[in-house]
Amino acid sequence: MKRQSACNSAEHVSRRSFLQGAGGALGTLGFGGMVHAQAAKELERKQKQVVVFWLSGGVSQLETWDPKPNTDNGGPFNTIETSAPGVHICELLPHTAKQMHHLALVRGVNTKENNHGKGAYIMQTGHRQTPGFDFPYLGSAFSSLLSPPDSPLPGYICVGRGGGAKEASFLGPRHVPLTLAEGKPPSNLNRHASLSAEGDLRRRRIRKSLSDRFARGRRQAETEVYNSSFDQAANLMGRKDIFDFSTFSDAEVAKYGKHPFGRQCLMARKLVESGVTFTKVTHSNYDSHSENFNFHIEQLGEFDKPFATFVSDIYDRGLLEHTLIIVMCEFGRTPRINQRLGRDHWGTAWSVALGGAGVQGGAVSGKTNANGTKVIDREVNGGHLFHTYYRAVGLDPTEPFYFRDRPFAKATDDTEPIKEILA
């Protein structure tokens, strides 16, 4: 049986759907095998794409990317060699180990934050929380910066749990994440059987005419939100093919695994192939305050093969060179093992994995001490990571966002990219 969250944090509760989120954006808007070569070349002409694997609750760095076997904090697992010479990771990730030549590790992360919500905010915005203001989350930011303005596709899709209207902040409702709840396609994508295509088109034209007339005299942020959400829904109906996951063969499903996370990774692959700018896949829940080792056997046993298969497939299809992959969470787990054989929250010395796009596969940055209690070389925080993400996809993180003529930093000014992992 799956474990429940030990701390019952609100961060582990499912968020609202896309259309609910679009309405909720009112509060924040106030702040303003190989595919055919032709398909691969078409994607190459587009801007970079990003896929985040969010390991909700805080995966243990000691049971993944920075193991410390045979130490007082190390736990029962050994390390294994990987496809990247000299790089070892935990034995719980044997399939991922075969893809490490595509991935880089940042082992010196210190966000100094052990709270789920605050840690998640840092890792998804690059900033600490500021009272009365929300910075755009990474998915919304990349949606606004990388998505073609005339694209009918959502710029940011969450597969599984996660996503909320506040993530777009002042960037507006177009960049609110569309959430595929439980990995299922959005509801109501098909035109109602009682409505013909011509009738639907007439209704849309009438609605647009009335809406435009209303906006000329009463243009408000609220009307823009609702018009934008309606237009997005209409565009989605025209591209509902990207959500048709019935086309997957039994062999593909078996390769990824028939459990929900395996199917979500397969969905993410299709979204990348379809040209979606930013995809977030959530795997939950790693909040292992008790029975940490048994729990990570279960969780990573589910994560390892689908994730490794996704990386391999993206590479085989010629898409990895322009697709940035990030594996992250809100913090790591304590090196010290508690009385319940668990590990608690730990933002002081932990790890993030990334690869593809402008990342040098097999690179490692940062080092922790012998038993993992602190960073002893190349310490970085959320700002460094965000500088790195932007550089990896060819964007300048020193160019700020602007809202109401005020500049807002994409990444903090006192940090810089982690250059040793960039290609």
Interatomic CA distance for residues 211 and 173, integer angstroms = 17
Interatomic CA distance for residues 277 and 283, integer angstroms = 20
Per-residue pLDDT of 154-173, as tens digits, reads 999 999 877 888 999 999 88
Q: Which helix (H) or strand (E) is 365 found in, with range? A: strand 364-365
Nearest to 33 by CA among 205, 255, 197: 255
**Is the bond leading into 371 cis (omega within 30 degrees of zero)?**
no
pLDDT over 70, % of the chain: 78
Predicted TM-score (pTM) of this structure: 0.85
Interatomic CA distance for residues 249 and 263, integer angstroms = 12
Nearest to 64 by CA among 76, 53, 52, 79: 79
Region 84-111: what's the mean pLDDT?
98
Q: Angle of helix 116-125 relative to helix 382-392, nearest 10 degrees?
A: 30
Interatomic CA distance for residues 178 and 13, integer angstroms = 17
Exposure letters 324-343 (e unless 16+ CB within 10 A, then b): bbbbbbbbbbbbebeeeebb
Residue 30, judged by CB atoms within 10 A of its CB (0-12, 13-18, 19+), counts as: exposed
Is the backbone of residue 187 left (phi > 0), alpha (psi -120 to 50) or beta?
Answer: beta
How many angstroms separate the Cα of 161 from the Cα of each of 56, 108, 243? 9, 28, 16
Is pLDDT at 26 greater than 50 in this prediction?
no
pLDDT over 90, % of the chain: 67
Q: What are phi and psi of 422, to 5 degrees?
A: -90, 140
Q: What is the CATH number of domain 10-421?
A: 3.40.720
Region 195-211: what's the mean pLDDT?
70
Number of helices (H), then strands (E), belonging to the chain: the values are 12, 16
Interatomic CA distance for residues 153 and 150, integer angstroms = 9
Tell me what pLDDT residue 222 has.
57
Angle at 83 (CA atoms; ends 53, 54), nearest 5 degrees: 5
Residues present in the chain in total: 423
Q: How many CA atoms lie within 13 A of 372 on its CB side?
A: 28
Per-residue pLDDT of 55-83, as tens digits, reads 999 999 999 999 999 999 999 999 999 99
Q: What are phi and psi of 71, to 5 degrees?
A: -125, 170
Banded model confidence at residue 151, pLDDT cuts 50, 70, 90: confident
**Strand boundaries in 150-288, DSSP class E:** 156-159, 178-180, 278-284
Banded model confidence at residue 29, pLDDT cuts 50, 70, 90: very low
Q: Which helix (H) or strand (E) is 325 found in, with range? A: strand 323-328
Banded model confidence at residue 13, pLDDT cuts 50, 70, 90: very low
How many angstroms separate the Cα of 73 from the Cα of each of 70, 88, 92, 217, 340? 8, 17, 17, 66, 14
Per-residue pLDDT of 281-313, as tens digits, reads 999 999 999 999 999 999 999 999 999 999 999
Q: What are phi and psi of 121, to 5 degrees?
A: -65, -45
Banded model confidence at residue 37, pLDDT cuts 50, 70, 90: very low
Single-letter amino acid, residue 17: S
Radius of gyration (Cα) for the chain, nearest Å?
A: 22
Per-residue pLDDT of 368-409, as tens digits, reads 999 999 999 999 999 999 999 999 999 999 999 999 899 999
Is the backbone of residue 357 left (phi > 0), alpha (psi -120 to 50) or beta?
Answer: left
Is pLDDT at 255 greater than 70 in this prediction?
yes
How many angstroms separate the Cα of 241 from the Cα of each of 236, 244, 246, 248? 9, 5, 10, 13
Which one is predicted more confidently, 377 or 7?
377
